[in-house]
Structure 1
Amino acid sequence: MDKPFGFWTAVGGLGVLALITLVAIFRYPSTADATDVITAAGAVIGTVIGAFFGVQTGAAGRAKAEEGKDQAMAALVRVAALSDSGSPAARAAREAFEETPTSAVGDKAGE
């Protein structure tokens, strides 16, 4: 998600809430009725926008975790390739590489 899209999502939500506020003020003569409508609309709009940003933040965190996992796996492969194939470090690196599924981060996220 690019930053302007998130900004415009928040601005749009505030704009809709402002429009609902104006309509409620002129539609309902009682202050209590107008407040009820504005509060209900604000709760729904705030929840939807909050969920939108929560999902976007979670997706960004997952992408960063996947990138870190890929970098760690690449480093492990380089260590295994550069070390003596009979050394204990090379054997441990190969065993760790063979035991680690490539989608370990994704498998944990779905639990």
Structure 2
Amino acid sequence: MAAAVIARCSFCAKPNTEVDTLVGGPGVFICDGCVQLCVSVIDGKPSDAPLIAPWEHDLPLEQVLQNLGPVAAATTQVQQNLAAWVGKARELGGTWAQIGDALGMTRQSAWERFGPATA
């Protein structure tokens, strides 16, 4: 029986079944391969390099369009993880007011976004 896909790397989208290690953070994951890539980028980066958002780089349209699908997939994964965490909070007795406070929204907004009608 094949291992179940539990999560995907938020950077390369590989599932946990295709990587050696997948490290989880609050709603995001990174695989060992992407960690190695990050280390090599950080090691080779000049210390005075400016920090700019990826979409602010001078990129051709084709590359920007290629990034839209992976960004949308990462967004979907984050939304699914958030819903799972809200579900866990509810299982543990968390109220909609507490969940709303944790998310910076009203209890009504939290219920409308994550309540039974959305499940």
TM-score (normalised: structure 1) = 0.36
Structure with bigger gyration radius: 1
Structure (1/2) with the larger strand percentage: 2
Q: Answer 1 or 2: higher relative contact order, Cα 8 Å, separation at least 6.
A: 1
Structure (1/2) with the larger helix percentage: 1
